[in-house]
Structure 1
Amino acid sequence: MKPSPKLRILEIAKNRFYRQGYFHTGINQIIRESGTAKASFYDHFPSKQSLGVQVIRAYGVDVLVWFRNILRKSKTPNDFIREMTDAILKQIHGDESYYQGCPIAIFSCQFPVGEMPFSEEFKRIVLRWESLFVMTISKWKEKGYLRSHSNEMELARDLITLYEGALINWRISLNEDYISRVFDQMKERLKLETKR
């Protein structure tokens, strides 16, 4: 069964905003490529900005699911490093997609800091990431893999920062050393919290 016009528009917009950028993608291109009528587009998305917000939300779900799958398989901090390594390398070397880095980071860099309504969406996404990481880190603490006085939020933010920073620098330089180094950096950061 053919997806609804709204879903077709959203999928084309997700793809085009990721590959071409928000400002280099026109509504007419999205309408044409999604095979929808202009009136149908505006029934679902009153403006390009409202479409942009929906795309951010969709990216947020995609990345949250990606993180959740990695963290679900990560029974220990060492499992996390292994799972994260496999997942990142699969993305940057995968044939099935043209990977340019985290879609949230790429999209957010196209707008001035604090630009509404996009900024609020980005903040909500990062809060969900932090919450997910904190839950996993808490489990690691309960099981005795990390010191009892480890600060879950600080560790969550450090791991997210290392991930996003490595991808941004890889994207800027096309130097895979940033990707290789991030795994060692995550190990070092986790080692600081490991029981001795």
Structure 2
Amino acid sequence: MRSSAARERLLATASELFYREGIHAVGVDRIVGEAGVTRATFYRHFPSKEDLVEAYLGVEDAHIREAFARAGESGAAPRDLLALVIDELADDVARNHTRGCPFINASAEYPDAASAVRGTVARHREWFRTTLEQLLEAAEMDRPENRARELVLLRDAAMVGGYLDGWGEVRPAFVGAARRSAGLD
């Protein structure tokens, strides 16, 4: 996919609107208007709205991968790295995901598990779980697969709980539960 200023404006505009208002609630005309581009420019970069949704989820995926990379750059021992990742996940929710999980939100709007959007969500979730499992293995934790699945569920719950109850209320519970689930406490 070609990168251009217009494409980046479209993606940034759509990302903000999709996350704040919902994917199906925001039409192409609104995105085009707020991004200051023509419909032809939109369709040159994104053949369909679903292509834009997939690109939006790709940006979200890149952000979480960057969070893992930042933690990995610390040079910390595996157990300490696991603790850093949990803290980075908590920070990510506080900074970027105050309205819940964009992947869960997108899945709610695309109920067909065979859709391309749901495929994008599934690939992200598989990467996320597998990466956590690898961290747990490196830290020599028992049952890394089970612990990774628990951490994914805890993050899902934290993102929803943070949206509903406020992150200040949820963060300590998430960090504590995640540390226990990871075997750090």
- TM-score, reference length from structure 2: 0.82
Q: Is residue 177 from structure 1 mapped to residue 179 from structure 2 by the alignment?
A: no
SS at match of 1:109: helix
CA distance in 2, matches of 1:184, 1:17: 31
Q: Which residue of 1 aligns with 2:82?
A: 80
Contact 1:100–1:171, Cα closer than 8 Å, also in 2? yes
Q: Which residue of 2 aligns with 1:50?
A: 51
Contact 2:151–2:178, Cα closer than 8 Å, also in 1? yes
Q: Deviations over 1:49-73 (max 9, x none)?
A: 2211221222222222223323554
Q: Deviations over 1:29-61 (max 9, x none)?
A: 111121211111111112212211221222222
Q: Is residue 101 from structure 1 mapped to residue 93 from structure 2 by the alignment?
A: no
| C-alpha displacement of 1:132 | 1.6
Q: Is residue 122 from structure 1 mapped to residue 121 from structure 2 by the alignment?
A: yes
Contact 1:170–1:178, Cα closer than 8 Å, also in 2? yes
Q: Which residue of 2 aligns with 1:40?
A: 41
| C-alpha displacement of 1:135 | 2.2
CA distance in 1, matches of 2:97, 2:125: 24
CA distance in 1, matches of 2:88, 2:62: 20
Contact 2:90–2:174, Cα closer than 8 Å, also in 1? no
| C-alpha displacement of 1:114 | 1.6
SS at match of 2:109: coil
**Structure 1: stretches of 5+ with no match in the other structure:** none
**Structure 2: stretches of 5+ with no match in the other structure:** none
Contact 1:31–1:41, Cα closer than 8 Å, also in 2? yes
Q: Which has the higher helix share?
A: 2
Contact 2:158–2:171, Cα closer than 8 Å, also in 1? yes
CA gap 1:119/1:87 in 2 versus in 1, 3 angstroms? closer
CA distance in 2, matches of 1:17, 1:88: 22
Please identify, of 174-183 and 39-48, the stretch whose mean Cα deviation from structure 2 is larger: 174-183
CA distance in 2, matches of 1:83, 1:136: 9
Aligned residues: 182
- TM-score, reference length from structure 1: 0.78
Return the index of the structure with the highest Cα Rg: 1
CA gap 1:7/1:169 in 2 versus in 1, 3 angstroms? same
CA distance in 1, matches of 2:77, 2:157: 25
